[in-house]
Amino acid sequence: MIQFLIGTVWLVPCYAFIGGLLAIPWSPGVIKKTGSRPAGYVNLFMTFLSLLHSVFAFIFIWNQPPQEIFIPWLSTAGLNLTISLEISAVSVGAMVVITGLNFLAQIFAVGYMEMDWGWGRFYSLLGLFEAGLSALTLCNDLFFSYVILEILTLGTYLLVGLWFSQPLVVTGARDAFLTKRIGDLFLLMGVLGLWTLSGTWDYTELAAWASNAEVNPTVITLVGLALVAGPMGKCAQFPLHLWLDEAMEGPIPSTILRNSVVVASGAWVLIKLQPVLSLSPVVSWFIVAIGVVTAVGASLIAIAQVDVKRCLSYSVSAYMGLVFIAVGTQQDETALLLVLAHALASALLVMSTGGIVWNSITQDVTQLGGLWTRRPISGLAFIVGTLGLIAFPPLGGFWALVKLADGLWENYPWLVGIILIVNTLTAISLTREFGLIFGGQAKPMSERSPEVHWPMIMPMVILFGVVLHLPLVLQSLSILPSWATLNKDLVLLLIWSSIFGCSISAVIYLGNIPKPIRLPWQPLQDLLAYDFYTPKIYRMTIIFSVDQLSKFADMIDRFIVDGIVNFVGLFSLLGGEGLKYSTTGQTQFYNFTVLLGVSIFCVWITWPFWKVQFLSLMF
Amino acid sequence: MQLKYFLLLAAALFCIGIYGLITSRNAVRVLMSIELLLNAVNLNLMAFSNFLDSTLIKGQVFTVFVITVAAAEAAVGLAIVLAIYRNRDTVDMEQFNLLKW
């Protein structure tokens, strides 16, 4: 039985996928009479099934060696594409997180999407996401990871574009698709380049190959950079981060999923590729640099946002930046711990604010306020999410950050400073958001704001409990960093940075300082509020050049290529039009041409005879 | 030796005829130029028959035929000219450019 559960854990993605397929018939165009709610219930059932299966498999596989399953997919001349699945404690554990979060997000959606007719489409896409993410965690093959990532990119496009009658949704979905596509295409280059070097795409074999590989440093650097570019786009890292901001136009339940697990899909691949990436020090430094820039930049931007969802989305980018730092400094386990802690806390934050948005309508934090007395559960959930994300003992984020800082302290002490800064900034931004939403006086938009109904509160409370219990769970699985070996000064520093950030922000936003807060230097505030003007930068660089280039290519096609062909036609036309005038209608002209022709023919025939005399006459 | 002179004379006459043929505006004069061409040919035929074939004089026979055919042709030609003249009231070759492009 145990072996059966473990051996068939690859069914988990299939359940979710089947759930997604089963939801489709309840699209308004197919089942026209009874509304689309059963789509959600069917999907919830399938997700629950996959959650149960993965939980039991996780319990049984813990402390057992990883198993591998090989499914041949395609075999052509010289290329055997085999789907290799790794059933290990980590991959099954990740599936538990994915299916669990998806289950909670789907329950949340039952409440949130109550006034919506698009359950068929929404739930089928959620099912697709769950299937893709679960398959990604199981998949032990770079090529099929890429395949899944691309499917998820398409899924993101469709899910962000759920309410496609809104113009901002359409542009947001477009940007999300194209930005992630660019990263994925670079990843494809890297994937193909890696094949020529290593001859394998299996992560295990890649790690074995990388442990004693002799490769040209330039080549492996370029391949490594391409491999990083995919996760960069997926994890919304600078400079490919704008899509996550615009993806906040999608429905909130999908945002729960996106902020917690979808962005982590890139990090997952990055972590899996870490042995290959660490072959080149340049690539490692690149990963760290990207992570540092994103972590600091995005947490600064998050402070300056007024949109609830966007405040959180930039924190997601920042935390993914920390994951990048962890991977760049070869701390895979820390990265996984960070992803786990972030996923749970971030999902809780989005659920809490999603509930606020659901019946306060506005997403503008400056128009919210004074909800603490009326929305205690949402407020507590937000607090716990915040504390679970920043370094606040004993919650998950604390352990992840402590482990990260501890690992960095030996070799990269300045990166510890970055982590402290990011932690402080995140604490400031989340406390600011709490202060603006829950603290202060009620504004017109939030004056009558009842707590949401059970389908949205229940998953929130469950996740609340999970976040609170995460340290206990981690301890029972003995994957917490051991307290004895930790650098206590670092721990204190991290805690102080959190307290500093929270308290300074609480003083500003819960105190009596007049709002809205203005920085002494307005351009800086605008710069952060407008995300370093990233849309403008995109529009001025990439979009402008591609646009001009495509216009130029279009002109070449229209005028030069078409022109040459048309010129041939025009030339024959003009030739006919012009040469018809040789038929003058004058009989004498015809006579003349006959005579001319005959004379030329005669001269030509008798030329050998004439030539001698002609030449002697000339010279 | 004299054959050359005959031939040169005939060629000269032929060229004069050609010149008249393609420059005359009067249709009758075009016919006259054609006659000149035919007569230049006849001169050639006579000269060849005299100097190269004096026994069988096939050239002279040719000449007789040419004269005959030329007479018929001139008659038909004049008939055509008259027919055109009847319709268009002119024998100017430059007025006859109706069948152009």
pLDDT tens by residue, A13-60: 999 999 999 999 999 888 888 888 999 999 999 999 999 999 999 988
pLDDT of A7 reads 82
Residues of chain B positioned with their CB less than 8 A from the CB of A595: 18, 22
B contact test, residue of A586, A595, A596, A598 with most B CBs within 10 A: A586
Summarize the confidence of residues B34-39 as an average pLDDT.
94
A contact test, residue of B26, B30, B94, B100 with most A CBs within 10 A: B100
| Of A583, A588, A591, Cβ closest to residue B101 | A583
Partner-chain contact A588 B24, CB within 8 Å: yes
| Of A584, A591, A595, Cβ closest to residue B100 | A584
Tokens of A8: 């068939």
Residues of chain B positioned with their CB less than 8 A from the CB of A586: 93-94, 96-97, 100
pLDDT of B8 reads 93
CA dist B3 and A69 (Å) reads 110
Q: Which residues contact A71 (CB under 8 A, 6 or more apart)?
A: A82, A83, A84, A85
B contact test, residue of A587, A592, A595 with most B CBs within 10 A: A587
Shortest CA gap B26–chain A (Å): 11
Shortest CA gap A569–chain B (Å): 21
How many inter-chain contacts (A to B, CB under 8 Å) are there? Answer: 31
| Of B21, B100, B101, Cβ closest to residue A588 | B21
Q: Which residues pair with A71 in a beta bridge?
A: A83
- Angle formed by the axes of helices A203-211 and A167-198, to 10°? 50
Model confidence pLDDT, tens digit, residues B62-88? 999 999 999 999 999 999 999 999 999
Give the residue ranges of DSSP H helices in A8-82: 11-23, 37-61
| Of A583, A586, A592, Cβ closest to residue B93 | A586
Residues of chain A positioned with their CB less than 8 A from the CB of B96: 585-587
Q: Does the N-terminal peptide bond of residue A38 adopt cis geometry, omega within 30 degrees of 0?
A: no
pLDDT of A184 reads 92
Q: Residue B1: pLDDT band by 50, 70, 90 thresholds?
A: low
Residues of chain B positioned with their CB less than 8 A from the CB of A592: 22
CA dist A311 and A301 (Å) reads 8
Smallest CA-to-CA distance from A194 within A176, A174, A215 is with: A215
Which helix (H) or strand (E) is A71 found in, with range?
Answer: strand A67-76
Residue of B nearest to A584 (CA): B100
| Of B18, B22, B97, Cβ closest to residue A584 | B97
| Of B18, B21, B97, Cβ closest to residue A586 | B97
pTM above threshold 0.95: no
Partner-chain contact A586 B21, CB within 8 Å: no
* B93: contact with A, CB 8 A cutoff: yes
Low-confidence ranges of chain A (pLDDT < 70): none
Partner-chain contact A587 B94, CB within 8 Å: no
The conformation of residue A481, written as its DSSP 8-state character, comes to P
Which helix (H) or strand (E) is A72 found in, with range?
Answer: strand A67-76
Residue of A nearest to B31 (CA): A588
User: How open is the CA angle A70-A72-A76, to the nearest 5 degrees?
Assistant: 140
Smallest CA-to-CA distance from A83 within A94, A105, A68, A97 is with: A68
Model confidence pLDDT, tens digit, residues A299-347? 999 999 999 999 999 999 999 999 999 999 988 888 999 999 999 999 9
User: What are the angstrom distances between the C-alpha of A137 and each of A21, A131, A337?
Assistant: 21, 10, 15
A contact test, residue of B22, B25, B98 with most A CBs within 10 A: B22
Partner-chain contact A595 B18, CB within 8 Å: yes
User: What are the angstrom distances between the C-alpha of A343 and each of A94, A242, A335, A347, A470?
Assistant: 11, 20, 12, 6, 12
Q: Which residues contact B76 (CB under 8 A, 6 or more apart)?
A: none
- The ipTM is 0.90
Model confidence pLDDT, tens digit, residues B23-35? 999 999 999 999 9
Q: Is the dihedral of CA A351, A426, A311, A261 positive or negative?
A: negative
CA dist A267 and A273 (Å) reads 10
Residues of chain B positioned with their CB less than 8 A from the CB of A596: none
CA dist A395 and A386 (Å) reads 10
User: How open is the CA angle A162-A167-A169, to the nearest 5 degrees?
Assistant: 35
| Of B22, B98, B101, Cβ closest to residue A591 | B22
User: What are the angstrom distances between the C-alpha of B93 and each of B16, B73, B89?
Assistant: 18, 19, 12
Q: Which residues pair with A67 in a beta bridge?
A: A87
Residue of A nearest to B20 (CA): A588
With contact defined as beta carbons under 8 Å apart, do A269 and A230 qualify? yes
Residues of chain B positioned with their CB less than 8 A from the CB of A585: 96-101
With contact defined as beta carbons under 8 Å apart, do A426 and A505 qualify? no
Shortest CA gap A605–chain B (Å): 19
pLDDT of A441 reads 87
| Of B22, B98, B101, Cβ closest to residue A588 | B22
CA dist A512 and A440 (Å) reads 9
Residues of chain A positioned with their CB less than 8 A from the CB of B24: 588
Partner-chain contact A585 B98, CB within 8 Å: yes
Residues 4-63 of B with CB under 8 A from A: 18, 21-24, 30
Partner-chain contact A588 B30, CB within 8 Å: yes
Q: Which residues contact A471 (CB under 8 A, 6 or more apart)?
A: A394, A395, A396, A399, A480
pLDDT of A253 reads 73
Q: Which residues pair with A75 in a beta bridge?
A: A80
